Structure 1
Amino acid sequence: MTRDLIEYDVLIIGAGPAGLAAAIRLRQLAAESGREISVCVLEKGAQIGTHILSGAVIDPVALDELLPDWRERGAPLQTEVTHDEMLWLTESRAIAAPHWSLPPQLDNRGLYTGSLGELCRWLGEQAEALGVELYPGFSAAAPCFDAQGALTGVITGDMGINAAGEQSARFTPGIEIRARYTLVAEGAGGSLTRELEAHYRLREGVGESHYGLGIKEVWRIPRARHRAGTVNHFLGWPLGRAAGGGGFLYHYGEDLVALGLITHFGYRDPQLSPFEEFQRFKTHPRIAALLEGGECLGYGARSINEGGLQSLPRLVFPGGALLGCAAGFLNMLRLKGTHTAMKSGLLAAEAVAAALGAGRRQDLLDDYPMAVAASWIGRELRDTRNVKPLLSRFGSFLGAALSGAEMWLLAAGLRMPWTLAHPAPARSRMAPAKPGSRRPALKPDGRLTFDRNSALMQANISHDHDQPIHLVRRNQPAEEARRLRRFGAPETRYCPAGVYELDGDTVRINSQNCLHCKACELNDPEHSLLWQAPEGGSGPQYVGM
């Protein structure tokens, strides 16, 4: 097959905060040095920002470094956090922790809340104005290597392959895009990242990362109840002891609230449904009273990195590097990764610019991991390295208390000398299924709580039904039958989009429902499912998430 070939100095996979920060910084450095650096950004979403989902409370520290005048430029990040609460939920009560009892690292006042998708759209505009070439609607289908094994770029996905794997009338072959350096910033659980980690053995001595699933809705509520700049985080009910995690609720913009539930993978009950627990979360008197009379405007989900320092792979390989959530820089204590993702983009851009300036081609970018370790990313991850292991071992209540105690000691200048190891890979902790349900299924009312199909209407999903299924089973039929008997098809419950549907003794895959959250690959107890990028432009079309 003949493919078009395009060459750049730098190719960036993913137009999230890490990839766009790297692109902007590269063009800034090119202008400062007077040396041309051609930069291309591939984004699988139909538009910049349509696949971006985050809570989001954003620390602007990296944005201040990248674009110090972002406020004057009109960045869509305008709601400053003025009121911050941590609450423990029982089924009927919400008990607020005294603010003075929380370690200083958890203080969100002075940060900003809003839509990360809107911020990425704006960052894309800044990148384009600097001469970055943005290509939304193009997925990275396969890596390309030279004879020495260095990454030389990617091939974008073919368009117009039908469900039978044949070329349709609208077939267009993918393009080979070559670059002197390729920066991978495709987010948590990306398929290209998986291939590169295996090819270059980037996880040798590290093991698997740890993940959780974040489910989010955006609501417009009655103005009388809206408190712009108010941030609430919740522990306890409804997950309780069944799973680690907690909820969030942020007031921002014009009468908008973002609310969601994060469920840590590693729970034991294969019948647990994070989607149902999120819907149940909204029935708490504190939440339901706020949302009464409001309107749900958006729904979505994504997996997040939770492993921190102990789960970081090697960041560089011949011809490229991993950035942002593709590497796993999320600060688990603060539940924030936008600022670390953007900072990693800045540092990678500076390492690439130095390599290009020195005339190097597809060498290891050794300056990049050293810069990460020496930066405030490294400091944050070192400071919070024990948070996730403590939560995994002791649960939300005791784990949070122990983490808080360690953070207070750190604030007093006493750093713990030990680094706790993560338990075994989270997926391996899932227990065999037992008859019956952990709790009665929630009956949605269509106003406050919804079923999956109704929720998906708010995600604006767009998939061409006549394309190959992008969700791949690794098991042979006998292995799959055994897995179903043992675990009872947990993917039919943990998938927040109803992609997997039990049909007798088999599981039907409704791939057109896919939100690209990657939970099926990251949470399956036998790693029997693989997520691959579908045709470019497919998936959710998030607005304001």
Structure 2
Amino acid sequence: MTEITRETMEYDVVIVGAGPAGLSAAIRLKQLDPDCAVVVLEKGSEVGAHILSGAVLDPCGLNALIPDWKERGAPLHTPVTEDNFYMLGEAGRIRVPNFPMPPLMNNHGNYIVSMGNVCRWMAEQAEELGVEIFPGMSCSELVYGGSGEIKGVVAGEFGKNEDGTPGPNYEPGMELHGKYVFLSEGVRGSLAKEVIAKYDLSKGKEPQKFGLGMKEIWEVDPAKHRPGTVTHTMGWPLGSNAGGGSFIYHLENNQVYVGFVVHLNYKNPYLFPYMEFQRFKHHPMVAELLKGGKRVAYGARAISEGGYQSMPKMVAPGVALLGCSVGMVNVPRIKGNHNAMLSGKAAAEAAHAALSAGRASDELTDYETEVRSGAIGKDLKKVRNVKPLWSKYGLLASLGLGGFDMWTNTAGFSLLGTLSHGKTDAAATEPASKHKPIDYPKPDGKLSFDRLTNVSFSMTNHEESQPAHLHLKDSSVPIGVNLPKYDEPAQRYCPAGVYEVVREEGKDPRFVINFQNCVHCKTCDIKDPSQNINWVTPQGGDGPNYPNM
């Protein structure tokens, strides 16, 4: 095979991912040293194209990074004015009062936002400071130095044939080298996963836990629109089948974010998270809001839920993991963007100190110390037991015990210590023989929709001649192992209809991967019970093109 020759570009810091963590790091580096050479590489077609979040934003991260964000026109237009929490039954609801909830659950002072638009605005701030931002540039490989340190990434490789060989229009991409490399790829990023494995960064830590978040944007009847209203629900339709819940956020322009989260540690392989979301919209409370409206966008992504005890070591020689590459979501608050921003700021400050001292490619231990002992660690430590309590004892017990534990943590102690998460989400999946199939209502095309129709509202596109970015470690496993043992749950856990078991008369079943549908949520990489699917980045610019998620 012909050795690939690539041009190289040298920077002080190379940042992978233009999300809130990566952009915060870039901005802070240039604030500290205008001469620092910083590049941000983003796999989406534009900044924000792959950003999907609830989102109610705690502005503490922005306050620390850009104190005059209001004067600079940051797209935080809808302050939270009303906070509702409901337990749902199939036909009714019970309002949970706000007063017994710990203060950290209060959304006063927060904003309903499109994080895609916030990131677009942050990119403008970064470019004004001199940061180079290259969208449409997937980072497909890490570049290692002679001492085992990470010294850069390969970005911008295009034109491979389906079998992985260079095609007629092949472009080898470039090597972008940095004295430090920041990985802010979001949940379960392919490069971060490689770094965590190579340097054994999860040693001694609890396994990371995940949820699948699905979201639609609806335009509703103006008479039903209440800007600033935040509603969360638990209970129906999931019941005891899985942990999770919903969010309904009223932002500007008669738009409402309708979202649903399913914790991926569910046992029943027949569970169909996407259809649970679609069924949820038929609850009378939700159906009344959406009636007469129209869905205008759809998307999905995994959420890191392990929290404080699941954060891996964040640094290795030459590299630091930021934001969701570590897992900094406060699960009961359903918020992580503020911590992502603070992590980017902390990483930038540690790198600036190292560069100022003439150091390069070492471990930024000051960054790790700040995350664990500073505002991020304090935020996550208070809620560290909510997720394991929910997983072990169910919803009602977790509300009571978890609420009590959050109150005591607010006072600086916990009677529970730090609880364990136990199994990975993949290992939590039980054989199909232990469960019964779940009968889901057929989507009506008005409130609920089939997966492929909804995927078209994510504006997802992949160049079809490239290699599939969803790799099977063993191609025999889906039909030979997962189908007889688990009824191949990939047919159901994927929110984009990527995986099919095709049955034709007179032929053996076939496992088909429709990678063109992939919305880059990474659920398959997380939930496959055989851990046989490896998600890697496709060529730059491919995937969803979210407008204002």
Rounded to whole Å, the distance in 1 between the matches of 2:156 and 2:485 is 36
2:16 and 2:185 in contact (8 A); partners too: yes
Rounded to whole Å, the distance in 2 between the matches of 1:422 and 1:148 is 35
**Which residue of 1 is the match for residue 506 of structure 2?**
none
Rounded to whole Å, the distance in 2 between the matches of 1:447 and 1:535 is 35
Rounded to whole Å, the distance in 1 between the matches of 2:336 and 2:411 is 25
Give the residue type in structure 1 aligned to 2:142.
P
Residues 364-513 of structure 1 mapped to structure 2, 5 A cutoff? 364-412=363-411, 414-416=413-415, 418-434=417-433, 438-475=437-474, 477=476, 481-504=480-503, 505-513=509-517
What TM-score does the superposition give when structure 1 sets the normalisation length?
0.97
**Which residue of 1 is the match for residue 96 of structure 2?**
97
**Which residue of 2 is the match for residue 26 of structure 1?**
29
Of the candidates 1, 6, 15, which is equivalent to residue 3 of structure 1? 6
Rounded to whole Å, the distance in 2 between the matches of 1:271 and 1:332 is 25
Structure 1, unaligned runs of 5 or more? none
2:478 and 2:488 in contact (8 A); partners too: no
What secondary structure, in the 3-state scheme, does the structure 2 residue paired with 1:269 have? coil
1:285 aligns with 2:271: no
Rounded to whole Å, the distance in 1 between the matches of 2:397 and 2:383 is 16
Going from structure 1 to structure 2, the CA distance change for 1:409 and 1:359 (only over 3 Å counts) comes to same
Cα offset, 1:73, TM superposition: 0.9
Cα offset, 1:333, TM superposition: 1.9
1:533 aligns with 2:537: yes
* CA RMSD after TM alignment: 1.4
1:171 aligns with 2:170: yes
1:489 and 1:507 in contact (8 A); partners too: no
2:28 and 2:349 in contact (8 A); partners too: yes
Cα offset, 1:477, TM superposition: 2.0
Give the residue type in structure 1 aligned to 2:19.
G
Residues 478-497 of structure 1, C-alpha deviation per residue, up to 9 Å, x if partnerless?
Answer: 68502221011101100000
**Which residue of 1 is the match for residue 349 of structure 2?**
350
Cα offset, 1:23, TM superposition: 0.2
What secondary structure, in the 3-state scheme, does the structure 2 residue paired with 1:205 have? coil
What secondary structure, in the 3-state scheme, does the structure 2 residue paired with 1:393 have? helix
Cα offset, 1:170, TM superposition: 2.3
1:229 and 1:250 in contact (8 A); partners too: yes
Q: Which segment drifts farther, 172-181 or 436-445?
A: 436-445
Rounded to whole Å, the distance in 1 between the matches of 2:240 and 2:477 is 34
Going from structure 1 to structure 2, the CA distance change for 1:519 and 1:220 (only over 3 Å counts) comes to same
Going from structure 1 to structure 2, the CA distance change for 1:195 and 1:413 (only over 3 Å counts) comes to closer
Cα offset, 1:442, TM superposition: 2.0
**Which residue of 2 is the match for residue 61 of structure 1?**
60
Rounded to whole Å, the distance in 2 between the matches of 1:465 and 1:484 is 27
**Which residue of 1 is the match for residue 139 of structure 2?**
140
Identity of aligned residues (%): 47
Give the residue type in structure 1 aligned to 2:95.
A
Residues 39-438 of structure 1 mapped to structure 2, 5 A cutoff? 39-412=38-411, 414-416=413-415, 418-434=417-433, 438=437
Pairs aligned (count): 541
Give the residue type in structure 2 aligned to 1:21.
S
Give the residue type in structure 2 aligned to 1:115.
S
Cα offset, 1:154, TM superposition: 0.6
Q: Which segment drifts farther, 513-522 or 401-410?
A: 401-410
Q: Which segment drifts farther, 399-408 or 464-473?
A: 399-408
Cα offset, 1:66, TM superposition: 0.6
What secondary structure, in the 3-state scheme, does the structure 1 residue paired with 2:48 have? coil
1:393 and 1:423 in contact (8 A); partners too: no
Give the residue type in structure 1 aligned to 2:180.
Y
1:515 aligns with 2:514: no
What TM-score does the superposition give when structure 2 sets the normalisation length?
0.96
Cα offset, 1:157, TM superposition: 4.6
Rounded to whole Å, the distance in 2 between the matches of 1:59 and 1:174 is 38
Rounded to whole Å, the distance in 2 between the matches of 1:481 and 1:495 is 20
Rounded to whole Å, the distance in 2 between the matches of 1:121 and 1:263 is 28
Rounded to whole Å, the distance in 2 between the matches of 1:483 and 1:415 is 41
Going from structure 1 to structure 2, the CA distance change for 1:411 and 1:206 (only over 3 Å counts) comes to closer
Structure 2, unaligned runs of 5 or more? 504-508
2:206 and 2:309 in contact (8 A); partners too: no
Rounded to whole Å, the distance in 2 between the matches of 1:204 and 1:157 is 33
Rounded to whole Å, the distance in 2 between the matches of 1:226 and 1:452 is 27
Residues 86-139 of structure 1, C-alpha deviation per residue, up to 9 Å, x if partnerless?
Answer: 100000112111111222111112200020001001101110110000010111
Cα offset, 1:286, TM superposition: 0.2
